[in-house]
Amino acid sequence: MKLILLPTLLFLMISCSQTAAPNQEKHTQAKVCKTVVPNSTVSLGVKGMVCQMGCGGSIRKALKATCAVERVEVNYLDSLEEQTIKVHYDRQKIAPKQMLQILSQINDQQFSVRTIGKAQALR
């Protein structure tokens, strides 16, 4: 009886501890941002996009995670090598150069990004 009880208890303890860790890890990754009030826009040229939904979603998610970007407009045309996105952001919290660094690192460095023109102040 002791031979069966000990391995069973050990198995239960190990399995419970392994299932709890991923849930805790996901919980700590969530980032809550306050409302962003954009005061600038910048247009970026992005090479390496293969679709509007997946790639555009990855770009939006990465930029909004900075808590400095309010909106990202993706203009995707399948026939173009370089797509255009327009970012509405708070220039006190992030600079276009930082956005370029962030986007060039996501999706296993899938995207090549450059600024198009200069950032423009809103209002």
- pLDDT tens-digit series, residues 46-80: 999 999 999 999 999 999 999 999 999 999 999 99
Rounded Cα distance, 58 and 60, in Å: 6
Residue 34 belongs to some domain of the structure: no
Structural domain including 18 reads 1-29
What are the CA-CA distances from residue 112 to residues 37, 53, 59, 81 (Å)?
Answer: 27, 18, 12, 11
Place of tokens 């995707």: 76
pLDDT in tens, 100-117: 999 999 999 999 999 998
The predicted pLDDT at position 14 comes to: 64
What is the number of domains present in the chain? 2
Give the pLDDT band of residue 34 (cuts 50, 70, 90).
Answer: confident
Domain shared by 110 and 68, yes or no: yes
